[in-house]
């Protein structure tokens, strides 16, 4: 074998490490979750519907491919993406699958079939509505994800709290709910809950990572924010 052949085989072998690491659906889901911010093994296991031992094995595979970093504090290990390029890679993979695999669209259509108000609002359209004071934006992800980063001006109302806080929505105000991304079901459930309560609600097509990647206004905060009725929802920052 020539040295040139050895060079090419060795190089593509390293590239294949990434492919092997992300070849399991649960590992892709874990990357999607970590695009929202760092998480402990226990939280990742719960959100991905895995046992802690199984989640740990998937995390080990991702870390061995240098896609993740980890910090240990006491008994808990917190995982994070190695850098922003990993989230960009996940989004590119998702986009490629959407463009090449008709099954992705078919699965989504079947899931949303018969659900009212699921016409998605695109990011820049939402930004315009917010600037005009026409909508209230709800972040229905867990509060830890909101604190790690959220759409500027959005109010944190985790899905599990939404039913008890629906009365906080200003009367007659349109609501747009968002969560982790186009395949996160939290916003879908939130819109259904709001519409049953008589609120005109829609879901944002993109999730927080997509919004951030598009250069649209974002915020990071140490608290979940005020009640809906006390907060003027208008993102900061100039026109992107």
**Tens digits of residue pLDDT in 87-110:** 999 999 999 999 999 999 999 889
Q: What is the pLDDT of residue 1?
A: 83
In sequence order, the β-bridge partners of residue 219 are 150
Which of helix, strand or coil describes residue 37? coil
Q: What is the pTM of this model?
A: 0.84
For the chain, the domains span 3-86, 110-230
Q: What is the pLDDT of residue 234?
A: 42
Q: pLDDT digits over 111-162, tens only?
A: 888 776 666 677 777 777 777 777 889 999 999 999 999 998 899 999 999 9
Q: What is the pLDDT of residue 224?
A: 59
Long-range CB contacts (within 8 A, 24+) of 214-219: 214/123, 214/124, 214/240, 215/240, 216/123, 216/124, 216/127, 216/151, 216/240, 217/127, 217/151, 217/152, 217/153, 218/149, 218/150, 218/151, 218/152, 219/149, 219/150, 219/151, 219/152, 219/153, 219/154
- Rounded Cα distance, 119 and 31, in Å: 26
Q: pLDDT digits over 174-208, tens only?
A: 899 999 998 999 999 999 999 999 998 888 888 89
Q: pLDDT digits over 22-68, tens only?
A: 999 999 999 999 999 999 999 999 999 999 999 999 999 999 999 99
List residues with catalytic annotation. 179
Of 3.40.50.300, 3.40.250.10, 3.40.50.1820, 3.30.465.10, the CATH number of 110-230 is 3.40.250.10
230 pLDDT more than 70: no
CATH of domain 3-86: 1.10.10.10
The answer to whether 182 and 174 are in contact (CB under 8 A) is no
């Amino acid at each position: 074998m020539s040295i040139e052949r050895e060079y090419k085989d060795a190089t593509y072998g390293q590239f294949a490490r990434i492919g092997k690491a992300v070849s399991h659906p649960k590992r892709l889901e874990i990357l999607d979750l970590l695009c929202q911010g760092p998480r402990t093994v226990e939280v990742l296991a719960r959100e991905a519907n895995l046992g802690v031992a199984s989640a740990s094995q998937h995390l080990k595979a991702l870390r061995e491919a240098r896609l993740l970093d980890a910090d240990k504090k006491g008994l808990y290990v917190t995982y994070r993406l190695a850098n922003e390029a990993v989230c960009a890679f996940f989004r590119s993979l998702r986009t490629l699958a959407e463009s090449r695999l008709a099954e992705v669209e078919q699965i989504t259509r079947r899931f949303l079939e018969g659900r009212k108000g699921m016409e998605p609002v695109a990011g820049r359209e939402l930004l315009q509505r917010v600037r005009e004071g026409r909508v209230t934006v709800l972040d229905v992800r867990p509060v830890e994800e909101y604190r790690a980063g959220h759409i500027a001006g959005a109010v944190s109302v985790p899905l599990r709290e939404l039913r008890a806080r629906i009365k906080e929505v200003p009367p007659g105000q349109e609501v747009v709910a968002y969560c982790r991304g186009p395949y996160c079901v939290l916003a879908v459930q939130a819109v259904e809950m709001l519409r049953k309560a008589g609120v005109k609600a829609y879901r944002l097509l993109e999730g927080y990572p997509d919004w951030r990647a598009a250069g649209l206004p974002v915020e990071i905060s140490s608290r979940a924010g005020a009640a809906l009725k006390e907060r003027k929802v208008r993102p900061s920052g100039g026109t992107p």
